[in-house]
Structure 1
């Protein structure tokens, strides 16, 4: 039996993890209101329901079945999709956009199974096929983020115009409200102050980045020096749950070993986007939000026939440069970053919403009107994205790699200079791999590729991985010169003759940098200087 029985019941209809991301931005409009109870369900007709139950469990939500939802009465139902038997729900129905407005063309079949002939496509969510059933308008309230959508609706489905409500974009508002946490997000991702965070974003389907250019991830990581860049991947939830998280991690296993940050599909993507220095993407909502946040954007895929004309995504395709697959990638990336000017994507942002900062208030006003309740007296909330939800998939600490190819040497002034590239993706196609001379190999003692371990001049581990002691690990890798034990203070080198050297930097630096710098000395001095990327660090050497 329920403890609270005098509440208005709001049903969130969550078809997919992608729509969960959208609907979670609306949950705070009911913050602390004892008059309202939220319930959640996933329709049986959902195209990709996998992952929704896990999302519910992470948030502590106890969902009801779709059958129970259809058999019950609610005071309001809110969804970000048009599929399923939504019209059979006993509740006023409020539909919000699935992504960044209504921007995607989608081929849809008629009842007799034939494809639509309206240029082969309909705009998802904003045409007669999606909004009408037997001539009746399905939603009681259709939420739009921009007047551009209003004008399209008036042209294509005038019957539904009476249900349309301009209410802004809650996702963009929340991203902008989180901007002050940018450095926290970057720290959570392991991005150091002198590094550029490159985010690769892919929507789903065959014409997306991951569908049409899956090697981009390893090619980009292979080209970018590891101490100057970090690379993160944001993939559409349909990629995660259309194939399975296990399969996705397996496809990207070498990239993960090379330090790729694979961002979780719920909430973490927004914090990563705020933290980005540049975004390489496609026609998906995430890439468009990146432009709206005033980030430099490069397009690695952009199928124009999939994009509705006149929308913010269409405007992005007009303005953002295309990445040339037949040229080295790093110069193109650096050129876009160096040439970017603040406000360059203002036209894109202006088409995402024409009510910036007002989405939470307007969505709350609409929801409470449909509920027949007075709004709470307290201000509506737009909570920033939680840094603690930003826990990317990677090997070891964020941004670290399990193997490096290192080049460098000692200058006339004694300073050791280094440049490092992840070794796991170095076998990407020749165009992506820079030529390295006088290189040495640094590999984790538990790396799954024995060929890399056996070829390494330096093997490394953390203290908890020493097992029976350094002698065992040195014996298991007979061709290496030294074992580097990474500590909180720096690096402890175990030499083959049984001696040890403790390397302590005077500023924070990746301890593997210290090991490589030591390798380049014929005889270790009591003190030396190493430079990697923009970092110049003094290192003290003492007996271990």
Structure 2
């Protein structure tokens, strides 16, 4: 058991702190993906000397490996869980629904775990064909406990998510706020630096870049669609083309970095760029000329690029048909074993395909470019403090910087 801290929370922490009389904000991370996602709303608070942010790691997470290391690398203050839930905070932020949030002594602001509340999860209750399934993050079972709402505010990216929330958990609608999506804003910002990102990835001026993206689980690209990635890597070797792979943090957490890299070594030796979990994924995605994806959130974000896409032919059963990803799976072309995967990815888009991608992109976020401004208003209202003067600070997208074989970035 970790020793409890004395500052910035603890018994008489004001005896030891330099900045005093701060509002205290607790950031609850269950996974590395959670911690990374939390950095977006925290960016609007970070520079305010009236606010002290404390992280804690929720217990019992299946994918909890690596969270503490990631937070330590950021230089964050990390309180032991049992101390955090016995301390009062002015506000708490989380991106995963769990029963651990019941114990937090603060108004909770709950953010989406990914994009679009796409994934279906079983919820308790009788059903003719087994347990009922509802979208993760919107399901009543995760938002209401003993008749009480867990979150004071539920942050949504799109107005259509409010409509879906009304169907599954109407009592949560008054606390819902549509603010946009910080990942969308970072992708749009990264597109303005696309050539820089390509250069840092080692992509030559005459080369094309295909970004493959895998979520976690048996129906993901790495779970059920490896043959499509294998074909792509082999075909790219004979063409002026590079392939980069974005992997969901839960994959690294479940299997371990050493094991994942060992499994991928034949492909990396053939030229595959394996992007580490610590890298800024939005810059890699923005650098793409085409995307091979699956039913994960990154594939839906890729529609913002307006570039050719193929989706692995798996995972539909995990996705809410009413979600944006449900529509993407119905409308975007699928990877097959017929013909050249690379030729299909580097094709010229038809007018219909361009229109479809634009339409899907509009379902990702209602307020592109405005997340920081809109979430700051929500957080400071709950903190009962005036907002700082000036524009709200968005989390900067750091330049890509990781080692590639034969490259010096």
User: Considering the TM-score relative to the shorter chain, is it more than 0.5?
Assistant: yes
Secondary structure at 2:113 match in 1: coil
Q: Structure 1 residues 338, 188: closer, same or farther in 2, change over 3 A?
A: farther
Secondary structure at 1:85 match in 2: helix
Counterpart of 1:140 in structure 2 is 152
* Contact map agreement 1:146 1:168 (CA 8 A) in 2: yes
Q: Structure 1 residues 314, 226: closer, same or farther in 2, change over 3 A?
A: same
Counterpart of 2:53 in structure 1 is 38
Residue pairs, 1:321-470, within 5 angstroms: 321-335=333-347, 342=354, 344-388=356-400, 390-391=401-402, 394-397=404-407
* Contact map agreement 1:41 1:66 (CA 8 A) in 2: yes
Secondary structure at 2:226 match in 1: coil
Q: Structure 1 residues 155, 11: closer, same or farther in 2, change over 3 A?
A: same
**Displacement of 1:215:** 3.4
* Contact map agreement 2:22 2:49 (CA 8 A) in 1: yes
**Displacement of 1:342:** 4.9
Residue pairs, 1:74-153, within 5 angstroms: 74-108=89-123, 120-153=132-165
- In 2, Cα distance between the equivalents of 1:368 and 1:117? 45
Q: Structure 1 residues 398, 214: closer, same or farther in 2, change over 3 A?
A: farther
* Contact map agreement 2:224 2:314 (CA 8 A) in 1: no
| 1:311 aligned residue (294, 319, 323) | 323
**Displacement of 1:54:** 1.6
Q: Structure 1 residues 31, 103: closer, same or farther in 2, change over 3 A?
A: same
Q: Structure 1 residues 216, 266: closer, same or farther in 2, change over 3 A?
A: same
Secondary structure at 1:247 match in 2: helix
Q: 1:354-382: CA deviations, max 9, x gaps? A: 11222111111101111111000120122
Q: Structure 1 residues 128, 344: closer, same or farther in 2, change over 3 A?
A: closer
Counterpart of 1:194 in structure 2 is 206
In the alignment, structure 1 residue 23 sits paired with structure 2 residue 38: yes
- In 2, Cα distance between the equivalents of 1:78 and 1:387? 27
Q: Which is further off, 197-206 or 2-11?
A: 2-11
- In 1, Cα distance between the equivalents of 2:33 and 2:322? 24
Report which structure shows greater RCO (CA 8 Å, sep ≥6).
2
Q: Structure 1 residues 398, 195: closer, same or farther in 2, change over 3 A?
A: farther
- In 1, Cα distance between the equivalents of 2:41 and 2:278? 14
In the alignment, structure 1 residue 53 sits paired with structure 2 residue 68: yes
Q: Structure 1 residues 340, 258: closer, same or farther in 2, change over 3 A?
A: farther
In the alignment, structure 1 residue 282 sits paired with structure 2 residue 294: yes
* Contact map agreement 1:177 1:382 (CA 8 A) in 2: no
* Contact map agreement 2:308 2:347 (CA 8 A) in 1: no
Counterpart of 2:260 in structure 1 is 248
Which structure is larger by alpha-carbon Rg, 1 or 2? Answer: 1
**Displacement of 1:292:** 2.1
Q: 1:198-228: CA deviations, max 9, x gaps? A: 1110101111111102233332111124551
Q: 1:141-185: CA deviations, max 9, x gaps? A: 011111111111112211111111111111101211222111111
- In 1, Cα distance between the equivalents of 2:232 and 2:325? 24
| 2:248 aligned residue (192, 215, 236) | 236
* Contact map agreement 1:107 1:116 (CA 8 A) in 2: no
Counterpart of 2:28 in structure 1 is 13
Secondary structure at 2:195 match in 1: helix
Residue pairs, 1:525-536, within 5 angstroms: none
- Where do 5+ consecutive residues of structure 2 fail to align? 1-15
* Contact map agreement 1:281 1:287 (CA 8 A) in 2: yes
* Contact map agreement 1:101 1:352 (CA 8 A) in 2: yes
- In 2, Cα distance between the equivalents of 1:81 and 1:229? 37
Q: 1:27-50: CA deviations, max 9, x gaps? A: 221142110111111111222110
- In 2, Cα distance between the equivalents of 1:36 and 1:315? 41
**Displacement of 1:106:** 1.7
Report the TM-score when normalising by structure 2.
Answer: 0.91
* Contact map agreement 2:309 2:345 (CA 8 A) in 1: no
In the alignment, structure 1 residue 297 sits paired with structure 2 residue 309: yes
Q: How many residues get paired? A: 394
Secondary structure at 2:92 match in 1: strand
* Contact map agreement 2:228 2:341 (CA 8 A) in 1: no
Counterpart of 1:3 in structure 2 is 18
- In 2, Cα distance between the equivalents of 1:227 and 1:57? 41
* Contact map agreement 1:288 1:316 (CA 8 A) in 2: yes
* Contact map agreement 1:261 1:398 (CA 8 A) in 2: no
Counterpart of 2:4 in structure 1 is none
- In 1, Cα distance between the equivalents of 2:320 and 2:289? 28
Q: Structure 1 residues 72, 204: closer, same or farther in 2, change over 3 A?
A: same
In the alignment, structure 1 residue 185 sits paired with structure 2 residue 192: no
* Contact map agreement 1:107 1:115 (CA 8 A) in 2: no
